[in-house]
Amino acid sequence: MDTVHYTQLIKQKAQALGFFYCGVSKADFLEEEAPLLEQWLHQNMHGEMAYMANHFDKRLDPRKLVEGAQSVVTVLLNYYPEKDLANEEHYKISKYAYGQDYHFVIKDKLKALMAYIHKEIGEVNGRAFVDSAPVMDKAWAKRSGAGWIGKHSNLISREKGSFFFIGELIIDLPLTYDAPIKDYCGTCTRCIEACPTDAIVAPYVVDGSKCISYFTIELKEAIPEEVKGTFDDWIFGCDICQDVCPWNRFSEPHQEEAFAPHPSLEKMTKNDWEEITEEVFKELFRKSAVKRTKLKGLQRNIRFVRGPQPE
């Protein structure tokens, strides 16, 4: 079995599909991450994201997800937009949600990559994963040499910054494995200092239950009053810790048509957001990740950020 040749074939096809990076790591137990995950869950930093505590064993061992798994193929897809829509005139949504829901876009590309493996290499068993199963994608990306995990807990690439999505194929095919790279955060603490809700409780440790993204997307109940006035107009997700990261000076606009924002999104004024109807919501976010909050959730976020209005 020519592992070098097969690895090369997979990486070339991944690039042809639009992924800017493809790396491979051995499907093994995540020994380093296991105690860290356990501690994070024990301290309840996942808040109401109960799914984070589910399938603990599977989350740490891909061989429990795919029988006989040998390799984790990690791919990265850039989503950095040509124009940043977050400014003082508008309510803000995370850059990753400007276009179509990344889950579907990446899943389709990974299915195409899997089909190519079957065609060129033969009967290979495996599954595609995009942030929707118990897979520690950042840990696998780090192992595959894609980058290092920054102090804000996001993966950082020396070439592209951190505005990208991560996907995986876990397959039962042995390949040539890449090596991790070193951490280049150095003494920089910009992300920690910039977080308005103090969610980065220590370098490399994010209390998910304090993050603006958690409050505006994951939390289904009322947003706690103690964080009022800290959201800086973010109504879906938050990019602050990434925006201040010096490595994102290397970010370049993506070439993925599906990630282009709806033409009307840029024109939305604060007043438009405040008066958004079900019809407009469905049109703007028909295929977007923003659908997760539903209109009711988005309206709750807008009211919270806007604050009480004069009678």
Average pLDDT, the chain: 92
DSSP 69-83: --EEEEEEEE---SS
Q: Are 81 and 75 in contact (CB under 8 A)?
A: no
Q: Domain coordinates of the chain in residue numbers? A: 3-86+93-171, 190-250+263-306
pTM score of the predicted model: 0.92
In terms of phi and psi (left: phi > 0; alpha: psi -120 to 50; beta: otherwise), the region of 90 is beta
Q: Are 134 and 55 in contact (CB under 8 A)?
A: yes
Q: What is the pLDDT of residue 149?
A: 96
Name the 3-class secondary structure at 215. Answer: helix
Tens of pLDDT, residues 221-246:
999 999 999 999 999 999 999 999 99
Tens of pLDDT, residues 41-60:
677 666 666 656 666 777 88
Q: Which of 28, 61, 108, 131 is catalytic?
A: 131
**Catalytic annotation on 131?**
yes
Q: Which of 17, 18, 133 is nearest to 72 (CA)?
A: 133
| Residue 254 Cα distances to 81, 101, 105, 257, 259, angstroms | 6, 15, 13, 8, 8
Sheet holding 21-26, edge to edge: 21-26, 71-78, 164-171, 126-129
Between residues 295 and 51, which one has the greater pLDDT?
A: 295
